[in-house]
Structure 1
Amino acid sequence: MSTPISSRPQLGEFISIVCFKSVITGMEEALGEKATAISLIAAGRTRGKNLVQSLGLSNSSADFSTIAELLNRAVGSEGTRLTAVDKIVQVGDVVRVYCSETVCTANEPQGSDRKCTFTMGAIWGALSEITGKKLRGIHTESILRGGTHDVFEFTTFE
């Protein structure tokens, strides 16, 4: 078994938003929007699940305020810079995650119909792993369409 390269000595761990968005638009050209969205959500869910496992938060009983803080540290300005997780609130059976500066909406014009597929998937996978529940997610509000945040809503899938 070969040993993977752990980092890039000159360039580091990060790439530009322009390059990441080019991956998305290239996939949309090749696969179509729906297949791309499904793929990016699935990839994000895997990333979120693996992140939570690496943080030791699987099946955590922490409150959503603490979870938001820990996720923000991991994927926000101190971490991978995917998004800022500003807050997580539960209203009845719905868990709402409020994010800002999402990579998916960066450099998009106001009014764009762009959805946060990878970002939502990462939050989805993280919450599923934290709660131990199968969830269904939807992107309900967008900064591109007048919202103050990109809001992802999750309900338990039965």
Structure 2
Amino acid sequence: MFPGVQLREAVGRMAGTGGYVVYLRQEGRGIGLYRKLDAYALQDGGLDTYAANHALGLPDDARDYTPAAQMLDALGVHRLDLLTNNPDKVAQLEAYGLQVRERVRTGVFATETNMRYLRAKVEHTGHSLILPGGLDAAGLAG
């Protein structure tokens, strides 16, 4: 991923509509930096990001979006359009009681070096990405 590309996209989209950027510092999908480095070593051996986490006894994604929901609630935001490709973010915010009116897809930002990672996100966790070559969250041509 290119540093800052998702943030730039979000800020650009919100420039005309308004909104909030909620930043949560959750290294390595919530598993921590050292465990993420262990997962990277397994990925270098051929496993995808999710298989590497499972080999280490870790979940697909351990991030907790409760703090984001609490921040939005404190700002008086109870209904929102959420800029994300991650269905887990929607589920966690809704479980907290927020109403996600629409999940708005972000750009894909695919490169030759991150295609395997992006494909794994689609195949394992249903991210709503349309990848070059047409694979989407349903595994169908887009």
**TM-score using structure 2 length:** 0.28
TM superposition score normalised by structure 1: 0.26
- The structure where strand makes up a greater share of residues is 1
